Amino acid sequence: MTHKPSSISTSVPHAQADHFGRRLSARLDVGARGVDHAISERLRVAREGALARLALQPGLVLLNQGTVSVLSMGGSPSVWSKLLGLMPIAVLLLGLFCIDTVQDQYRADELADVDVELLTAELPPLAFTDPGFVHFLRATGRD
């Protein structure tokens, strides 16, 4: 049995999609005629079970928006679904806040290291007024 790959573009009009569906259904019907009775009965029972489970699901709705179709639970979104939609934004903001806090702590630690160097070094008082002194401390602190 040879399978030809087929694809339907999302811009295909509904009439062409319906025609394709009917051709596919007719081809499956022809193939189903040669199936053993026991297999066809098992398929029928499975199909009825699937339809029964589908009927139990509350309000499944197929929404068509232009060329895009979406399977939705129907009705308006609940408060919980709206809150869950905002969850990624909340996690992002929390992560940015944590990064900012860590960066502030890192800067404070660097300044404290410079202060410790200044207070523990035995230098003449004029060294503290030299503009290149902080640069010198940072350069020697990295070594």
Map out the domains of the chain as residue ranges.
14-72, 79-141
Look up the pTM and report it.
0.35
Mean pLDDT within 87-104: 96
Q: In the chain, what percentage of residues exceed pLDDT 90?
A: 18
Tracing tokens 């589908």 back to the chain, one arrives at 54
How far apart are alpha carbons 109 and 86 in whole angstroms?
Answer: 35
Three-class SS of residue 81? helix
How far apart are alpha carbons 112 and 115 in whole angstroms?
Answer: 5
Q: In the prediction, which pLDDT does 92 show? A: 96
pLDDT digits 0-9 by tens, 8-64: 455 556 788 888 878 887 887 787 777 888 888 888 888 788 777 766 666 555 555
Mean pLDDT of the chain: 76
How far apart are alpha carbons 63 and 12 in whole angstroms?
Answer: 17
> Is the pLDDT score of 97 beyond 90?
yes
Please say whether the beta carbons of 117 and 135 come within 8 A.
no
- Residues ≥6 apart with Cβ < 8 Å to 137: 114, 117, 118
Q: 68-72 and 61-65: which strand pairing? A: antiparallel
